[in-house]
Chains A and B, each alone.
Chain A
Amino acid sequence: MRAANQRKNALAKQPSKTNAPAKQSKTKAKAVSTGDAAAPPDDSDFILRSLQTEFEEQKRFNATPEQMLKFYEQMLLIRRFEEKAGQLYGLGLIGGFCHLYIGQEAVAIGLQSALDNDRDSVITGYRDHGHMLAYGIDPKVIMAELTGREAGISKGKGGSMHMFSTEHKFYGGHGIVGAQVALGGGLALAHKYNEDGGLCLAYFGDGAANQGQVYETFNMAALWNLPIVFVVEDNQYAMGTASSRSSAETRFHRRGTAFRIPGMEVNGMDVLEVRAAAEVAFKHVREGKGPVLMELNTYRYRGHSMSDPAKYRTREEVQEQRDTHDPIERLKKTLIEGGKSEDDLKAVDKGIRKVVAEAADFAETSPEPEASELYTDVLVENY
């Protein structure tokens, strides 16, 4: 057992997050808590660091050139789609709340590319456009939902925050912060109950991570050994609140400790690192070993939603993230090192811009829902 502890301590001392976005405000919390949260020394199956250890042995996924190009295309599609959505919002074509995923693309692509889409399910909050695009769902029906048109994936009745595709086992699209975590626990319960071999990937934010139901779910998921991967998308802010102002422990991967859920800390700005971590986590869950908690360190470039006072962080901070941690630029560099030319990648961008422009045209020109749709889908049956 000593060996295990020594290993844990050694890991704790390793400089972590070399490439992850800087968390200036976390340094203090980190200094205080490093080395704590240790297992009782006599507990032989206390394995909370084992997944991290395995992940750190091979931190970047060994992608084929085809896989790598695909990741690039998918991330770029999310970026361009979200930029266009922001533009349509400015034109009044999209209303209400619209939360963009720009900056966080590597998280959804890295994780979801490792799913078995025939079996696994995904659930998230209101910042959901990217997770849908990661499935390859037609950008047209997503954009048409944003503009509230009949052709939208929720017939225009859900909007940006409430999109679903049961066909893909994507369960939304939820507007109440934290609700998706317990719902994800239920999806995992169904996987286990049906013995379908699937797992649930449940995303939530650093702000959502403080909701009580998250911990109620952690307990039940661990107690019942549910096949679920909890993913904290730590983009460092919940609206205007930096995580250090709302969270006593900002190293979110440690928060499963009390429930014996192993944690992983991942640079969410590197799609290959995210994918490598996903491989380790999903394998653990699929082997029937219960839930995993992943902390994906990332950054949101845009405002929380379209209306954002932008006074809680400096422009320099945002610029620094874009300049030095951008997930798309990072992969581009890897691709170019692997022999792709700037021109190849420019052509990819051009193709994606075309797809997005078509989606926007479609979303702008397709008709609004029929008035009769107001009363449909309230209940399934007639009574």
Chain B
Amino acid sequence: MGIELKMPALSPTMEQGTLAKWLKAEGDTIEPGDIIAEIETDKATMEFEAIDEGVLSKIMIAEGTEDVAVGTIIAMITGEGEDASAPDPAPVATAEPAAVPEQAPKPVAEKPAPSAPAHDPEIPEGTSFTSTALREALRDGMAEEMRRDERVFVMGEEVAEYQGAYKVTQGLLDEFGPKRVIDTPITEYGFAGIGTGAAMGGLRPIVEFMTFNFAMQAIDHIINSAAKTNYMSGGQMRCPIVFRGPNGAASRVGAQHSQNYGPWYASVPGLIVIAPYDSADAKGLMKAAIRSEDPVVFLENELVYGRSFDVPDLDDHVLPIGKARIMREGSDVTIVSYSIGVGLALEAAEELAGEGIDAEVIDLRTLRPLDKQAVLTSLAKTNRLIVAEEGWPTCSIASEIQAICMEEGFDDLDAPVLRVCNEDVPLPYAANLEELALINAGSIVEAAKKVCYAD
């Protein structure tokens, strides 16, 4: 008998990792607190620490093994006073993940993107594509603009030496050096102001917020200083700055770390607000944002950072700001969405197709200025529209789309426009409650059927 050591999870999104190194050998005595192994994922390295004391009797997974599933037994410890020479426990096959304990919340998989979306008319026919993770597409967009324009620099918490809290700025310090990739203290109000002032002074700052939850410390500069100066100065004083970072709910991080600020910023004249879903749009719009003469709030999503999507192999892939994109053509109902909601909308559309409902999915991509025409054109075609938004329903982008449809598309409506959003509560921590609070594909399907009177 002994104690089984299992492959630990470093984060709720982790399903597997590399057993990088054993720091103890078979036969070594282990004290609680001893570091026995190093585990790696694409995001981080973790030291695996002993909780129990005893002797490391058997190593089941050799160092250097990749893709070890969370929960796999990686070693055995023989407890205090037990016979270390007890027969070896039956070895466990490496590939076979041990059963996840029943109560364990299901890890959120970084899902593959649903089937290939409709072609983006902005990309020339015949262009080849490379599958790229969202975080890399964002980084590539920034790096290309930094090469192109000396005035562009990045600042924020942990963006340089740490390579970004979510690894979006990975490699930038190496290429551009500390003058252009600047680690700041944890002082959002201060560095958002410094960035804004630098933009007024002729530079092109990219200010990263570790997450947009922390930009609330800085929202005064984003709105009062950055968004309004051009107007107040009669067009003399510009503020070409990009405020970027992950936005919206992550996974189990609770109420203070899980909010969608899309509607907040989209209500402010003087700002551009961009919230892309896939890698191609993230890159193309990031480059456009950096080149814009106006202040841009660029909302990313942590849960999508690890997903890979096709990015066109173009030397200079810049997309127009303010243009929505048809992600899937359909004729029965329109699902309008943005950011992570687009993935859910595409999933819902697949499911609806199975039930004979042909849904059109529109990705707004830019929240301000909003591409009304794309929404209204689709509505004129399908006569039914719902909005899928990972965020609260009240005073949301969804409510805005409803207002637009009422004011300008009333004659095209065969059913009321419905909002499919998160529940109207602060996001709870408990796994079951969090799941209940967040939008999912099922609720989008339900709403689509409702407006099609298909129940």
Interface residues of A (CB under 8 A from B): 83-84, 86-87, 89-93, 95-97, 147-149, 152, 154-162, 174-178, 207-208, 210-212, 238-241, 245-247, 301-303, 306-312, 315, 322, 364-365, 368-369, 371, 373-375, 378
Stretch with Cβ within 8 A of A (4 or more), from B224-232, B248-256, B290-298: B248-256
Distance, CA A211 to CA B216, complexed state (A): 13
Residues of A within 8 A of B217 (CB): 176, 178, 211
Distance, CA A247 to CA B187, complexed state (A): 11
Tell whether A211 pairs with B186 under 8 Å between CB atoms, given A156-B430, A307-B11: yes
Between-chain CB contacts (< 8 Å), 11 pairs: A83-B32, A92-B107, A93-B104, A155-B430, A158-B254, A161-B254, A239-B165, A306-B11, A308-B45, A369-B433, A371-B432
* Chain A proximity mask over B16-60: 1 for CB below 8 Å, otherwise 0: 000000000000000011010000010111111101000000000
Q: Does B437 contact A (CB under 8 A)?
A: yes
Q: Does B129 contact A (CB under 8 A)?
A: no
CB–CB A91/B104 < 8 A: yes
CB–CB B162/A96 < 8 A: no
* Chain A proximity mask over B87-125: 1 for CB below 8 Å, otherwise 0: 000000000000011011101000000000000000000
**A307 interface neighbour in B43, B101, B185, B254, Cβ under 8 Å:** B43
**A83 interface neighbour in B49, B250, B252, Cβ under 8 Å:** B49
CB–CB A176/B213 < 8 A: yes
Residues of B within 8 A of A315 (CB): 35, 47
How many Å from the CB of B81 to the closest CB on chain A?
Answer: 13
Tell whether A307 pairs with B46 under 8 Å between CB atoms, given A92-B107, A240-B158: yes
Name the CB-closest residue of B to A205.
Answer: B186
In the A-B complex, the 9 residue pairs with the closest CB atoms: A90-B8, A159-B429, A95-B252, A96-B252, A148-B430, A156-B430, A175-B256, A92-B104, A240-B162
Residues of A within 8 A of B252 (CB): 95-96, 148, 159
**B185 interface neighbour in A148, A210, A306, Cβ under 8 Å:** A210
**B9 interface neighbour in A90, A241, A311, Cβ under 8 Å:** A90
Stretch with Cβ within 8 A of A (4 or more), from B313-321, B362-370, B420-428: B420-428
How many Å from the CB of A272 to the closest CB on chain B?
Answer: 22
CB–CB A310/B47 < 8 A: yes
**A241 interface neighbour in B35, B158, B431, Cβ under 8 Å:** B158
Distance, CA A96 to CA B202, complexed state (A): 40
CB–CB A159/B9 < 8 A: no
CB–CB A306/B183 < 8 A: no
How many Å from the CB of B232 to the closest CB on chain A?
Answer: 24
In terms of DSSP, what is the predominant structure of the interface of chain A?
Answer: loop
Tell whether A148 pairs with B429 under 8 Å between CB atoms, given A178-B186, A246-B185, A310-B45: yes
CB–CB A240/B186 < 8 A: no
CB–CB A157/B430 < 8 A: yes
* Chain A proximity mask over B344-377: 1 for CB below 8 Å, otherwise 0: 0000000000000000000000000000000000
Residues of A within 8 A of B216 (CB): 176
- Number of inter-chain CB pairs below 8 Å: 203
Residues of B within 8 A of A175 (CB): 213, 253-254, 256-257
Q: Does B436 contact A (CB under 8 A)?
A: yes
Residues of A within 8 A of B186 (CB): 177-178, 207-208, 210-211, 238, 246
Distance, CA A90 to CA B428, complexed state (A): 21
Tell whether A91 pairs with B9 under 8 Å between CB atoms, given A83-B32, A176-B217: yes
Q: Does B10 contact A (CB under 8 A)?
A: yes
CB–CB B6/A86 < 8 A: no
CB–CB B185/A247 < 8 A: yes
Distance, CA A134 to CA B46, complexed state (A): 28
Name the CB-closest residue of B to A246.
Answer: B185
Name the CB-closest residue of B to A305.
Answer: B11
How many Å from the CB of B117 to the closest CB on chain A?
Answer: 31
Q: Does B12 contact A (CB under 8 A)?
A: yes
* Chain A proximity mask over B416-455: 1 for CB below 8 Å, otherwise 0: 0000000111101111110011000000000000000000
Tell whether A89 pairs with B162 under 8 Å between CB atoms, given A83-B49, A97-B257, A375-B425: no
CB–CB B101/A96 < 8 A: no
Residues of B within 8 A of A84 (CB): 51
**B46 interface neighbour in A97, A178, A238, A303, Cβ under 8 Å:** A303
How many Å from the CB of B10 to the closest CB on chain A?
Answer: 5
Distance, CA A21 to CA B351, complexed state (A): 59
Known A160-B429, A311-B45, A374-B428; further 5 A-B contacts with Cβ < 8 A: A87-B8, A238-B186, A241-B161, A241-B162, A369-B433
Residues of A within 8 A of B9 (CB): 89-92, 306
Q: Does B410 contact A (CB under 8 A)?
A: no
CB–CB B185/A89 < 8 A: no
CB–CB A157/B185 < 8 A: no
CB–CB B6/A374 < 8 A: no
**B432 interface neighbour in A152, A154, A309, A369, Cβ under 8 Å:** A369
CB–CB A307/B428 < 8 A: no
Distance, CA A40 to CA B58, complexed state (A): 68
Residues of A within 8 A of B44 (CB): 303, 307-310
Distance, CA A145 to CA B270, complexed state (A): 43
Q: Does B177 contact A (CB under 8 A)?
A: no
Distance, CA A89 to CA B13, complexed state (A): 12
Q: Does B201 contact A (CB under 8 A)?
A: no
Residues of A within 8 A of B51 (CB): 83-84, 86-87
How many Å from the CB of B162 to the closest CB on chain A?
Answer: 4
CB–CB A364/B254 < 8 A: no
Residues of B within 8 A of A301 (CB): 33
Distance, CA A303 to CA B216, complexed state (A): 26
Distance, CA A239 to CA B185, complexed state (A): 11
CB–CB B428/A176 < 8 A: no
CB–CB A207/B185 < 8 A: yes
